[in-house]
Amino acid sequence: MELREFGERVLLAESLELKLERVREPFTDAAPGEPLRVAEPGRPANLKFAARRAAPAMPHPNTFAEPRRRAIAHHVMANHELQALEVMAWVLLAFPEAPTEFRLGLARVMEDEQRHTRMHMERSAALGVEFGSQPVNCYIWKKAMEFTGVMDYLAGLPLTFEGRNLDHTVEFEGYFLAVDDAKSAAMMRAIHRDEIEHVRFGIEWLRKLKPAHLSDWEAWTQHLHWPLRPEKAVGDEFQEAARVAAGLDEEFIRRLKDAEQG
């Protein structure tokens, strides 16, 4: 399948099933086309972005003994994963001049995001809340609309949002284990392993595209759009080993830890 076709399908389809349909043939990039930008992704009516503060907040982990609260947590995370998928599709279409190797790699990450969305959807439903039965927010999407190029994307999504998820996935694994929800905990551990590879993808491409005189940290922070900033890339339980596994250098990790403690 052409990457252009894949991007359009994920970004513009109003059918969730079509957005999440797995592509089984190899991707090609023979016709990237002209830049295409949209204000909002196509979505079914029950998943259109809600007004500010209308969507439920992430439930406090102290409430996770109640299955419905865990279901809402999975509902929120399903929407996070879906937004990330849609942002990646937007990047394919908005920046067709990006290197083909980057675009092919991004499509492989998108396949993970499709799977993560389905995982959270299915677990939410199993716990009693169908995906789309609650309002959903647009925070990740709105931040991405400030990206002016691939470097902004690398700084904002893989190295900030997914970087923070290196911590959140482990934190939520612990929250779910604390209430004997082994299935949800195993999901979070599996997603954690994927996020390591996604952060690796981000830092490797940052290094390929940044000016040679800039450090990884300097290139990253120069492409962050407020309110995204270093402390937004860390959670409550700093996973240093995961960041080493993702290929972040010593300076980057040290300064992230300083941002966490600041």
- What does the DSSP 8-state code read for residue 133? S
The one-letter code for the residue type at 139 is Y
Domain 3-27+60-261, CATH: 1.20.1260
Q: What local confidence, expressed as pLDDT, does residue 107 receive?
A: 98
- Cβ(42)–Cβ(9) below 8 Å: no
Distance CA 213, CA 200 (A): 21
Element (H, E) at 116: helix 100-126
Length of the chain: 262
- The confidence score (pLDDT) of residue 260 equals 73
**Residue 183, CA distances (Å) to 170, 191, 224 in order:** 14, 13, 35
Which DSSP category does 220 fall into?
H
How high is the pLDDT of residue 206? 98
Q: Which pLDDT value is given to residue 195?
A: 98
Instruction: Identify the residue whose tokens are 């482990």.
Output: 170
Residuewise pLDDT in 10s, the chain (262 residues): 999 999 999 999 999 999 999 999 999 999 999 999 999 999 999 999 999 889 999 999 999 999 999 999 999 999 999 999 999 999 999 999 999 999 999 999 999 999 999 999 999 999 999 999 999 999 999 999 999 999 999 999 999 999 999 999 999 999 999 999 999 999 999 999 999 999 999 999 999 999 999 999 999 999 999 999 999 999 999 999 999 999 999 999 999 999 877 6
**Predicted local confidence at residue 262, as pLDDT:** 63
Q: What angle do CA 169, 15, 197 make, to 5 degrees?
A: 30
Residue ranges per structural domain of the chain: 3-27+60-261
Judge if pTM exceeds 0.95.
Answer: yes
Query: What confidence score (pLDDT) does residue 220 get?
Result: 98
Q: Which residue is listed with tokens 């503060």?
A: 53
Q: According to the model, what pLDDT value does residue 154 have?
A: 98
> What confidence score (pLDDT) does residue 162 get?
98
